[in-house]
């Protein structure tokens, strides 16, 4: 269940597009195996981590939290690390960038599935 729409509405469509199981908060009358959980967003984070083989375990990750100044701080930190020959990536409001990959950001913070993919 999301803020704008309820993903449960799309289970039949997902099945028709090849899904073989649905993780749900409420069972639906769709002929597909369903795993009921308390919070699908929390479970998505765990599933994503496992699907991508826990990529952040091999990374040093720095999180920056605040009301103001996160983007400025992240760019400053990236420059300091880069000047010291430390490979860096950045995931933020402006873009996600690592190596020669540059992806414009849509959200300030990506969803867990996208975040694990970037890692």
pLDDT tens digits, residue range 77-114?
999 999 999 999 999 889 999 999 999 998 878 889 99
pLDDT at 66: 86
Contact between 105 and 95 (Cβ < 8 Å):
yes
Q: Report the side by side order of strands in the sheet with 101-104.
A: 89-91, 95-98, 101-104
pLDDT at 109: 81
State the pTM of this model.
0.80
Contact between 1 and 23 (Cβ < 8 Å):
no
pLDDT at 106: 87
pLDDT at 108: 79
Mean pLDDT of the chain: 93
What 8-state DSSP symbol labels residue 32?
Answer: S
Q: How far apart are CA 52 and CA 73, in angstroms?
A: 28
């Amino acid at each position: 269940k999301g803020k704008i729409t309820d993903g449960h509405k799309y289970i039949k469509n997902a099945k028709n597009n090849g899904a073989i199981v649905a993780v749900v908060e409420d069972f639906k009358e769709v002929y597909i195996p369903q795993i009921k959980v308390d919070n699908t967003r929390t479970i998505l984070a765990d599933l994503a981590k496992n699907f991508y083989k826990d990529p952040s375990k091999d990374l040093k990750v720095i999180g920056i939290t605040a009301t103001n100044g996160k983007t400025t701080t992240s760019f400053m930190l990236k420059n300091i690390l880069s000047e010291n020959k430390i490979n860096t990536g950045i995931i933020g409001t402006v873009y996600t960038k690592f190596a020669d990959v540059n992806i414009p950001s849509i959200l300030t913070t990506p969803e867990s599935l996208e975040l694990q993919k970037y890692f």
